[in-house]
């Protein structure tokens, strides 16, 4: 894959990867606070990741959460005056999801907004290092606060429900 997609500052593109559990307003605020964003266009990617042991169950369980997050992120970016060229929900595996989107819509830089971790992974197998090796792009990982917890009366003992609990859709 090519390094920079275009060196013209008027058309610099940034791929913003947003975990579905983080606060999209905090992400848009952090992006808009960047003084370089004057001539940037953004692509948004929300991987439908499966947290913890949820990968054992339904592999599509996080897709509604990711779709909801993408809608909220696009709206927040617009409120902050940021140009969103493309928004996409991707595979649960972040590296293939990012590479697929970069193939479709090249970018000059990738910024990954992730949930806070208890343990930091600063090793050769980290997503940031693997992505840099595969693409040659500048890749940055930033933490964002978790989205405000949604009320769930069924599980009041949990501080945060494992999924976004979108309303079930009516089946035909």
Domain ranges of the chain: 9-50+59-143
Report the CATH fold assignment for 9-50+59-143.
Rossmann fold (3.40.50)
Under 8 Å CB-to-CB from 153, ≥6 apart: which residues? none
- Taking CA atoms, 136 is separated from 5, 102, 107, 121, in Å, by 11, 12, 11, 20
pLDDT number for residue 30:
94
Higher-confidence residue of 106 and 121: namely: 106
Integer Cα distance of 88 and 83 in angstroms? 15
Quote the mean pLDDT of the chain. 79
Contact 66, 89 (CB under 8 A): yes
* Lowest mean pLDDT across 41-50, 86-95, 116-125: 116-125
- Taking CA atoms, 10 is separated from 7, 40, 98, 142, 145, in Å, by 9, 7, 23, 25, 31
Task: Report how far apart the first and last C-alpha atoms of the chain are (Å, whole number).
Answer: 43
Neighbours of 127 (CB within 10 A): 18
Integer Cα distance of 79 and 82 in angstroms? 8
Q: What does the pLDDT look like over 118-166, one tens digit per residue? A: 666 567 678 899 999 999 999 999 989 988 864 444 444 444 445 565 4
């Amino acid at each position: 894959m090519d390094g920079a997609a275009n060196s013209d500052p008027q058309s610099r593109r940034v791929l913003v990867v947003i975990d579905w559990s983080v606060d999209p307003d905090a992400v848009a605020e952090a992006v808009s606070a960047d003084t370089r964003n004057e001539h940037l266009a953004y692509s948004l990617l929300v991987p439908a990741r499966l947290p913890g042991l949820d990968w054992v169950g339904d592999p599509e369980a996080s897709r509604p959460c990711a779709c909801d997050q993408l809608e909220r992120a696009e709206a927040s970016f617009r409120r902050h005056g940021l140009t969103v060229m493309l928004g996409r929900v991707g595979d649960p595996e972040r590296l293939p999801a990012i590479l697929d989107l970069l193939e479709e819509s090249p970018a000059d830089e990738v910024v990954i907004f992730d949930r806070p971790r208890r343990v930091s992974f600063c090793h050769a197998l980290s997503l940031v290092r693997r992505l840099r090796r595969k693409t040659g792009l500048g890749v940055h990982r930033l933490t964002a606060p978790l989205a405000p917890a949604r009320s769930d009366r069924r599980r009041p003992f949990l501080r945060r429900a494992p999924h976004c609990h979108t309303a079930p859709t009516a089946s035909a």
